[in-house]
Structure 1
Amino acid sequence: MTMAAPPEPPPASEPPPAAKAPGRRLAAVEPLLFLATVSLGLQGPLATQYLWDRLGADLGYSRGNSSSADGCTEGPGANVETLVSHWNLYINLGGFFVGLFSVTLFGPWSDSVGRRPVLILPAVGMAMQAAIYLLVMYLRLHVGFFLLGRILSGLTGDYNLILASCFAYVADTSAARARTFRVAVLEACLGVAGMLASIGGGQWRKAQGYINPFWLVFAASLAAALYAVFCLQESVKQRKPAKLFTLSHYMAVYRLYTTPERQGSRQKLALYSLAFFLIVTVHFGTKDIYVLYELGSPLCWASDLIGYGSAASYLAYLSSLAGLRVLQLCLEDTWVAELGLISNISGLVVMSIATTTPLMFTGYGMLFLSMAATPVIRAKLSKLVNETEQGALFASVACVEGLCSLVASGVFNSLYPATLHFMRGFPFLFGALILLIPAAIIGLIEVWDSHLAYRHFSRSSMSLTNS
């Protein structure tokens, strides 16, 4: 055993993740996430509207650019809504099903080879997807080619891998005590980029159509890849060659939940992952149908109002960051997350009954704290595992997010057309009911932890008294 001592100084000489985290490195990943989110924020609403116009033209239905009811009729419009919803379902299912496996493959791989490769690859994939969408628009190809572009992007990890790798980058370069707020800052970056993309995309599409805005989608994705290549610093210090196509990457994620040590932590890991799954599923699912809900009767929004609505939804990232920072001064993170869920539930309930533009924007306004729950859960998950398990943890979170997208697309895009005949806003009400489950999980874990801490304190006091 004495011979094992000399080789240990080199690893010990490297500072721990919390100590090797100068602020400049944390900021370095934010421009990449900003560019990728701009690309995604432009692409989502524009692609849905393009599908609406192309498929509506095939059915002989044309949507006016006015937000009045003159440009929106109940009969043909409802048929177009159903068709677009189904195409969204096919495209999202194809991309997310592929991405579910690629993200969990690339995530653990990044622990060995570094974060930069798994940030470059999905950015290139998103640029390829945008290029295919441009070809469809230029050549008037069948909209089924949208599915091909989505699958190609999914094979490279898609936006979910960029998101997961950026959070892993933050975990590599942040102290545990500050991680909740640092994660919230990263999520606020999503809000700023999404808000700018939504406002600009709606106005730009109204003025010049679809092709020019999609060139910006392509350019933003390509710029994100180039930034990762030439500007981003590597956060993984002890890199080593590793095979990509091996089951060991999937096993690393599996072992995270099955290792017998620290059973209490593993149980909380599973419960927090379930809560995260439900919250993000509702978020993705309702976001998928915002545009369809606003295009249809009785709202009948034009592209500029759709852009403002998308911007309002992204604004929740910034308001949640501010609310989180203020509430942390007087509340535990758990209760901040609970307030965030209450905000989310109330906003969705209002949207479910919105028949006018002011009421719809009231629903958006009530979502002001809705994004406070996810950074709290991400930080709690990160603190439940060892430093050597951080890569596997964020791979599992990426897996959960991929599964969220898969389930959300299947459930909400199927539920929306099925409930049009009796309540157009029923999917929002359904999402609000689902959010009651993670609210109960998070609250119960906090109460149980407080109970255990009290029992431990009582036993310590009794031992001191008896002694």
Structure 2
Amino acid sequence: MQGPSSETRENYLRVFIPLCVTNFCLLTAYNNGIYTAYEYGYSHFQNQLFQHRSESNRSQKSLCETNTSSQAYEDEQAVQSVVSRWGLYISLAQGLPLVLSSMMFSSMSDSMGRKPFMFIGAVGIFLKQLLMTLAIVFDWNIYLFVPFTLIEGVCGSWVIELAIAMSVVADITSAGNSRSFNITVLSFVFGIGFSVGTFVSGYIVTLLGYDYSMAASCVVAGIAVVANCSIPESLTTSHRKENKFNFIRNIKDIVNFYAKDDPDSPTSTRLRYVISILAFFFIMMAKLGPFAIEAFYLLDFPYCFTPEKISIFETVKDWTGEIISLLGIKLIQQCMPDELIALIGTASSVAMLILFGIAPSDIYLYIAVAVGCFRMAAIPLLRGIMSKMTPPHKQGVLFGSISVVENICNLTSSVMAGAVYSETVSFYRGTAYLVFGGLMTVAFLLLLVLVRDSRKNQYRDGYKSLQ
């Protein structure tokens, strides 16, 4: 791939700064909206099914019953089952179209430019938040949240924003340390936006209510749309692909990447590719699945978290995982291969999921967060392991295939979480977490095979992980 033009490189801040602002706002709006929608749905179904308890269903209070022998507690389990099914429909509405849009838009941007598809993704998030705000204010049917989310999925949501934003950074920087640094900065901006959205949602809901919280998401998403308009097109006409996007050919390239040997890369093996992508699949399934049910899980007995407490807890959990994993990778790489570090991170994830599943009180949840503080290590390391085995001219196909797997996991894990949780909440609430702990254990076993295989290969000398 040719490097960026000197003009673009000299003025890269004109692109990079509004790019960071746009994505910070979008991730903040998206995550605040998700938590607000789930908490509103929980309260709405509780009031709808058991109107005699409406006095206790204010957003300022915990929405659960602590007396397990009471009728109110049995009512709570019925609410949990209904709301988790509703959440399942929302996950399907986002995930099904997102699998296709994520495969199409990223490749189409190589020939049509980056800006149109970033704009589509931002508008999709804004429209969903706007319609949900109106639904809460005017008390529309709660199931209208499903088609509202469908709009976001068709437009690509945050997945397209992330993929194309990384492409923009590649357009405006030269290959090497400059590009790596700017990708790191952009990734940090995404993480900050995600955490801020999680943190503020509980406070706004507690202080002002669900309508103001969703309206705040709508306003922030609107700011992102405006900021997006100020981002100059980063892909010059001379650097665009002449051939148009071919959906069938793109699918074939992705399948062949794992099905056929590559004569251009004699040091790689199909077995290592397949083991790595399977491990990545199970790790992402176990990582993304709990997100679809965790708000419901924490709101109910025996934890009885308030929306404000959920915000604090989730923020602390995310930040400890990200920071400790990042620092730990840098330190441990001096004495361990990446496969072994990924194995340790996966073991940390298994322990955390099991503790979440069996936790009889909230103190066990805090212990689980501490035990799972290194859980994020495996994901970037697996990307790097596969990238190391891949020649430069096929890096795009590699990361395209990883993106497809990630989107499939986003859809499948959310559906699985909602289905398992809704069917098991009445007799053992932590079953879904134990199921995902089992999936993470499968990834652990696959990484054991990868660790053993890596000891037989010497081509890894000098490898640095892809962050």
TM over 0.5: yes
SS of equivalent residue, structure 1 residue 312: helix
Alpha-carbon shift at residue 311 of structure 1 (Å): 1.0
Does structure 2 retain, via aligned residues, the 8 Å contact 1:181–1:375? Answer: no
1:414 paired to 2:419: yes
Matched letter for residue 451 of structure 2: E
Superposed, 1:209-288 pairs within 5 Å as 209-231=209-231, 234=234, 238-240=239-241, 243=244, 246-261=247-262, 262=265, 264-288=268-292
Which one is further off, 86-95 or 337-346? 337-346
Contact 2:63 2:300 in 1 (8 A): no
Structure 1 unaligned spans of 5+: 1-10, 455-467
3-state SS in 1 of match to 2:200: helix
Query: Residue in 2 aligned with 1:164?
Result: 163
**Letter of the aligned partner of 2:376 in structure 1?**
M
Q: Hey, what does 2:350 align to over in structure 1?
A: 345
Q: Secondary structure at the match of 1:163?
A: helix
Deviates more, 1:93-102 or 1:390-399: 390-399
**Secondary structure at the residue paired with 1:141?**
coil
Q: Which residue of 1 aligns with 2:151?
A: 152
Alignment correspondent of 2:294: 290
- Residue of structure 1 equivalent to 2:306: 302
* Distance in 1, Cα, partners of 2:336 & 2:178: 15
Distance 1:171 1:384 in 2: 21
CA contact (8 A) 2:128 2:148 kept: yes
Going from structure 1 to structure 2, the CA distance change for 1:294 and 1:341 (only over 3 Å counts) comes to same
Taking the aligned partners of 1:331 and 1:21, their CA distance within structure 2 comes to 39
State the one-letter code of the partner of 1:287.
F
1:44 alignment counterpart: 34
CA distance in 2 between partners of 1:382 and 1:177 (Å): 17
Distance (whole Å) between structure 2 residues aligned to residue 75 and residue 372 of structure 1: 40
Q: CA deviation at 1:46?
A: 0.9
1:76-128 Cα distance to aligned partner (Å, 9 max, x none) = 11111111100000111122011111111112222333443332221211111
| Letter of the 1:350 counterpart | L
Is residue 43–residue 63 contact of structure 2 (8 Å, CA) maintained in 1? no
Q: Distance in 1 between matches of 2:287 and 2:356?
A: 14
Aligned CA distance change for structure 1 residues 70 and 55 (closer, same or farther; 3 Å): closer
Q: Distance in 1 between matches of 2:376 and 2:157?
A: 22
Task: Say whether 1:57 aligns with 2:47.
Answer: yes
Q: State how far apart, in whole Å, the 2-side matches of 1:324 and 1:286 are.
A: 24
Instruction: Sort the Cα spacing of 1:106 and 1:268 in 2 relative to 1 into closer, same or farther, 3 A.
Output: farther
Rounded to whole Å, the distance in 1 between the matches of 2:184 and 2:349 is 16
Q: Displacement of 1:285 after TM fit? A: 0.8
Query: Which residue identity is paired with 2:258?
Result: Y
Matches within 5 A, 1:73-112: 73-112=72-111
Which residue does the alignment assign to 1:460? none
How far the C-alpha of 1:281 sits from its partner, in A, is: 1.0
Distance 1:371 1:232 in 2: 34
Q: Residues 339 and 454 of structure 2 are in contact (CA less than 8 Å); yes or no, is this contact kept in structure 1?
A: no
- State the secondary structure of the residue aligned to 1:424: coil
1:394–1:223 distance in 2 versus 1, CA, 3 Å: farther
How far does residue 188 in structure 1 lie from its aligned partner after superposition?
4.4
For residue 338 of structure 2, the aligned residue among 333, 337, 344 is 333
Alignment CA distance shift 1:408-1:392 (3 Å): same
Question: Structure 1 length normalisation: TM-score?
Answer: 0.84
Equivalent position of 1:191 in the other structure: 191
- How many residues align? The count is 443
Taking every aligned residue pair, what percent have the same amino acid on both sides?
23
CA deviation vs aligned residue, 1:382-408 (integer Å, no higher than 9, x gap): 333333333333332221122102211
Q: Deviations over 1:164-185 (max 9, x none)?
A: 3344556665857999998776
Question: Structure 1 residues 350, 183: closer, same or farther in 2, change over 3 A?
Answer: farther
The residue aligned with 1:35 is 25
Deviations 1:19-39 (A, max 9, x none): x89996878754443322212
Question: Structure 2 counterpart of 1:395, which letter?
Answer: G
User: What does the per-residue CA deviation read over 1:131-178, in whole Å, with 9 as the maximum and x for residues that have no partner?
Assistant: 111121122111121111111111111222223334455666585799
For 2:308, the aligned partner's letter is D
RMSD: 3.3
Asked if the contact 2:348–2:375 (Cα under 8 Å) also holds between the matched residues in 1, the reply is yes
Q: 1:317 aligns with which of 285, 298, 322?
A: 322
Of 335-344 and 73-82, more deviation after overlay is shown by 335-344
Provide TM-score, normalisation by structure 2: 0.84
Taking a change above 3 Å as real, the CA distance of residues 446 and 31 of structure 1, as seen in their structure-2 partners, is farther
Distance 1:202 1:220 in 2: 16
- Name the CA distance, whole Å, in 2 between partners of 1:176 and 1:339: 29
Q: Deviations over 1:415-457 (max 9, x none)?
A: 1122223321121122122112222223322321321339xxx
Q: Distance in 2 between matches of 1:268 and 1:168?
A: 27
In the alignment, structure 2 segments of 5+ residues that lack a partner are 460-467
Bigger shift: residues 85-94 or 375-384: 375-384
Larger mean CA deviation between 439-448 and 141-150 belongs to: 439-448
Q: Which amino acid aligns with 2:331?
A: V
Query: Which one of the candidate residues 382, 386, 398 is aligned to 2:391?
Result: 386
Letter in structure 2 aligned against 1:337: A
Q: Matched residues in 1 for 2:120 and 2:246: separation?
A: 15
